[in-house]
Amino acid sequence: MSQTVSYLYAEHREYVSDKWASYLPVYDRWFARYQDAPISLLEVGVQNGGSLQIWAKYFSNAKRIIGCDINPKCAQLEFDDPRVALVLGDVKAAAVREQVLAHTEVYDIIIDDGSHKNADIIKTFKHFYARLAPGGIYVVEDLHCSYWSKWHGGLWRSDSAMEFFKSLTDVVNLESWGAKLLPANWVAKLKTKHHSRFKPADYADIESICFYNSMCLIVKGHGPNSIGGRVVAGDVALVHTALPKPGSAMPVPFQKKTFNKLKLKN
């Protein structure tokens, strides 16, 4: 029987890893489907390095387990597992990102447990979402810092990381946007410096976004997110009769011209 993340944390005796208790069952729920797969995982912010050891145990068939940390003391960390590697430096720096991507250009799971500063969270997501494999999961931990001034956050701050990820929920429904709300107008409506270069169509393949206490999980789809055609089942319609016959082709009832403009103009 496969070991759970919760079990591995309870039994871990090597390098220290520090996670909030509520995170572990979330990881058990979302990571189980990838546990035996040959995945590549990136964790930004590794502190004492214990989480990398635990991920290596949990994902026993993983190809790469890569950590990145700005703290030079992390140079002391040594890993016996050849799949585990550590990149030292600020992940927002192009040279450091090149080192991260030298291990593999695409990651199946990316976990941001870095500085927790709102601007850094947003920038890291913008840099690495494109490097997330189709079907992959991007996780942001410790989003409670989005509400705290120490990390440049606040409940009413429009440039917080939470506001950024909440704005992505609109992108999940990108194909349904009205003709009067083109990307430039939508971004301007946010009125934040961190969204100034935000292009909704760059994230049109987001399949789902899920929020937990202090966490956000973004799942990347295998193509542009689409509601698809209508599925009608049954033979008897006594109330609403203006329905197509089961199995008949149905056009997607959205403004496709507008959707094309979103992709072309932003």
As annotated, the active-site residues are 116
**DSSP H stretches of helix in the chain:** 5-11, 23-31, 50-58, 94-103, 118-128, 161-172, 183-190, 256-265
Strand 64-69 relative to strand 132-140: parallel, antiparallel, unpaired?
A: unpaired
Task: Judge contact between 186 and 252, C-beta under 8 A.
Answer: no
By CB neighbour count within 10 A (0-12 exposed, 13-18 middle, 19+ buried), where does 95 fall? exposed
Virtual torsion, Cα 97, 100, 101, 104, nearest 10 deg: -170
Separation between Cα atoms, residue 165 and residue 160, nearest integer Å: 9
Distance of CA 178 to the CA centre of its chain: 26
Quote the tokens at residue 40: 């590549």
Q: How far apart are the first and last CA of the chain?
A: 48
Q: What are phi and psi of 206, to 5 degrees?
A: -65, 125
